[in-house]
Amino acid sequence: MTAILLGTFAAVNPFYQPDISPFIGYAAWLADMALAIVCFVYPPLARPGVLLCGLFLAVPCFLDAGPLFRGLLMCLALLPLLVAAMPLLAPSITDFRPRLYFLMSWFGMRELKRRPRSFHAAALLQSVAGTLAFAAMVAAVQAIPASGLWLGLRWLAGGLMIFAFAEAATGFHNFLTALLGLTVPGLLNSPVLSRSIGEFWTERWNPTASVFVRKACYEPLARHGRVRALFAAFIVSGIWHLLLAYAVLGRWGMSVVWGAFFFVQPLLILLERRMKVRRWRPAAARGWTLAALAVTCPLIVEPMLQIIARILGAAGPVPWTATMVVLVVVVTVFPVAVSLMASSPSIRS
């Protein structure tokens, strides 16, 4: 948490000038990754290394480059931070491959193992349907005016576009892992089926990041109060997304709006705990979750649409969908490939 706050303070300094060249930014990331690997191999350097990796989060905000490169570098900046933090999150694991296995198994919360290979036709169909739905929602977003009473429909289409992306990614992950005969945790797991906001964040939407934030932020602070730790975890997540939006848009106003989406999530989680939503019937619980997300979705949908438009310009639904497909492949293949690299006894045939 301290590392991310350090990067934020560096990014908002009053002497901001976006004059770092793409070459310097790329070289800085390589140096940052090299430092993280050293911390991974030599744990005594992990604490100062994590702080330096957190400071690097400010670099994309100073980059004199296009929005795509700035946003990509901000996303990549999380990888060295995660690698450098591994010795602190798993101090009892000393060897490289067991640490890698620990990371890819969601810090030991899931199992990586072999299974019989199969052709998962339903998962493939889910991925194709999600892709087609994504293209349809992109066409709707581009056809709806971004002003006045039309904004509600624009945000609805944008929210459905996000869910369509998640379904495409879920289906492709299940199809690929079945084809390879692997059991590997995915980055998305049909968020539209969430029966609570808590389930949405811990099990459905990027649970890997949720586990990392829980280990690095929530659990150390929980001894001072679980509610405080809950707010702190979402504030840290919101700050990173705020920096990502600023790196792409170059405007603090819309970036703060995106961060605010994460700042209000603890309130929804506390409210549903009081209402005992987890005891409701599945249909009612899903209805509550979708309604709560719909109320707060303008905080994330509008910044996201502006970020995509900034990157892709006036491109139509086809370039947007092609970009989504590439992103789905990357976020699926990379974790699977790294899981194979872990070469743990349970993953070897």
Q: Is the pLDDT of residue 15 over 60?
A: no
More confident residue, 128 or 56: 128
**Confidence class for position 8, pLDDT limits 50, 70, 90:** low
> What number is the average pLDDT over the span 44-61?
82
Backbone angles phi and psi of 314, in degrees to 5: -90, 20
More confident residue, 127 or 312: 127
> What number is the average pLDDT over the span 158-169?
95
> What number is the average pLDDT over the span 150-176?
94
Q: Is the pLDDT of residue 32 over 80?
A: yes
Cα dihedral angle (302, 303, 307, 309), rounded to 10 degrees?
A: 20
> What number is the average pLDDT over the span 278-288?
94
Sign of the CA dihedral 281, 283, 288, 290? positive
pLDDT for 129: 96
The segment with the largest mean pLDDT, out of 3-12, 59-68, 104-113, is 59-68
What pTM, to 2 d.p., does this model score? Answer: 0.85
> What number is the average pLDDT over the span 278-305?
93
23-37, 54-68, 136-150, 251-265: least confidently modelled range: 54-68
pLDDT tens figures, 128-162: 999 999 999 999 999 998 888 889 999 999 999 99
Residue 290 tokens read as 């979708």
Q: Is the pLDDT of residue 343 over 80?
A: no
% the chain with pLDDT above 90: 35
Q: Is the pLDDT of residue 171 over 60?
A: yes
Average pLDDT value for the chain: 84
> What number is the average pLDDT over the span 240-258?
84
> Residues, the chain, total?
349
Q: Is the pLDDT of residue 85 over 70?
A: yes
> What number is the average pLDDT over the span 106-123?
83
**Confidence class for position 347, pLDDT limits 50, 70, 90:** very low
Q: Is the pLDDT of residue 127 over 90?
A: yes
Q: Is the pLDDT of residue 346 over 60?
A: no
**Rounded-to-integer distance, Cα 319 and Cα 303, Å:** 19
pLDDT tens figures, 299-327: 999 988 988 888 777 677 888 898 889 88
Backbone angles phi and psi of 205, in degrees to 5: -105, 110
Q: Is the pLDDT of residue 348 over 50?
A: no
pLDDT for 10: 56
Q: Is the pLDDT of residue 349 over 70?
A: no
231 CB neighbour count, 10 Å cutoff: 19
> What number is the average pLDDT over the span 323-343?
79
Rounded-to-5 percentages of helix, strand, coil across the chain: 75, 0, 20
How would you class 262 by CB atoms within 10 Å of its CB: exposed for 0-12, middle for 13-18, buried for 19 or more?
buried
More confident residue, 246 or 1: 246
Q: Is the pLDDT of residue 265 over 50?
A: yes
**Rounded-to-integer distance, Cα 58 and Cα 21, Å:** 14
Q: Provide CB contacts within 8 A for 207, sequence distance 6+.
A: 106, 185, 187, 189, 201
